[in-house]
Structure 1
Amino acid sequence: MTTPEPHVQPTRYTVNCLPEDGGLNSHVFEITVEYRGNGRWAVLRHGRCLGSNGEWDYELRPSEREDEWLANHRFDLDTALKLAKQAAPNVTVNGFTVTDALRMATERAEARP
């Protein structure tokens, strides 16, 4: 018997307007695009799922997901990445926008000796 060739499938992408280094805690601003099977992807942020209408909804349990909900919250990869990139500049964390975080990081860097 021959050993089968492993299948490799990317299952998660991270979309973020902040650099991953620089002490910004950029992970709190990230949006993820995650594979959900059958060629469909979800756009997620802190337990919420982006719908085709641009609204964030709580991701339902699999047993509660009806066809209409799935049609509005699952996308092909290109669409999911496009939606995540469009949403990323608008992420706000504790009242701080992406722009605020970038400005504060620049100010800190300029203040260092």
Structure 2
Amino acid sequence: MTTNEPRPAMTMRQIREGLGHIEPGQPDPIVQTTGYTVSCLPEDHDERWTYTVRVSYRGDGLWSVQCRSQYVDADGKRSPGFCWSRGPQEPATQAEMDDFDAEQAEWLKAYRFDHVTALRIAKQLAPTLTYRGRTVADALAEPVA
């Protein structure tokens, strides 16, 4: 006997379980992008890492921009990194963040960005990098060994 009563739509998980693509009750993996490499030099260039900007996820929807071992703010000002009484690592919990003083909170505000802003800063910075007087253009112009 068939019925014309509508059935509720199946979720993607139910469809995948029904097709045997995943085991029922098994949790779905979470895939998260945590970083980007921004450079004007091709991937196989010997000096690519010298002229690279890194964009890294820092939690709570915020990203950092780093050039070599320094953090970069929206104006291009560089900082050696987060500094607080418990060592060089950034706080991992809300309780640790509650221990911030105003200066530390201002540092985080200046050196953390939303995703779009962090990538924009990195893309603007990448072509302007120099190392020991050599520019990105100099590195690109030299023959690859």
> Could you say whether these structures have the same fold, taking a TM-score greater than 0.5 normalized by the shorter chain as the test?
yes
Higher relative contact order (CA 8 A, sep 6+): 1
Matched, 1:24 2:55: no
Stretches of 4+ aligned residues off by more than 4 angstroms: none
How many Å separate the matches in 2 of 1:42 and 1:53? 13
- Name the structure with the higher helix share: 1
Larger Rg: 2
Identical-residue share of aligned pairs (%): 41
**How many residue pairs get matched?**
106
Q: TM-score, normalised by structure 1?
A: 0.84
The amino acid of 1:43's aligned partner reads: V
1:93 CA drift (Å): 1.7
How many Å separate the matches in 2 of 1:92 and 1:25? 11
Q: TM-score, normalised by structure 2?
A: 0.66
- Give me the CA root mean square deviation: 2.0
The amino acid of 2:33's aligned partner reads: P
1:52 CA drift (Å): 2.1
Long gaps (5+) in structure 1: none
Task: Determine if contact 1:20/1:27 at 8 Å carries over to the other structure.
Answer: no
How many Å separate the matches in 1 of 2:77 and 2:33? 26
How many Å separate the matches in 2 of 1:53 and 1:88? 14
Matched, 1:11 2:34: yes
State which drifts further: 88-97 or 63-72.
63-72
Q: Which residue of 1 aligns with 2:106?
A: 68
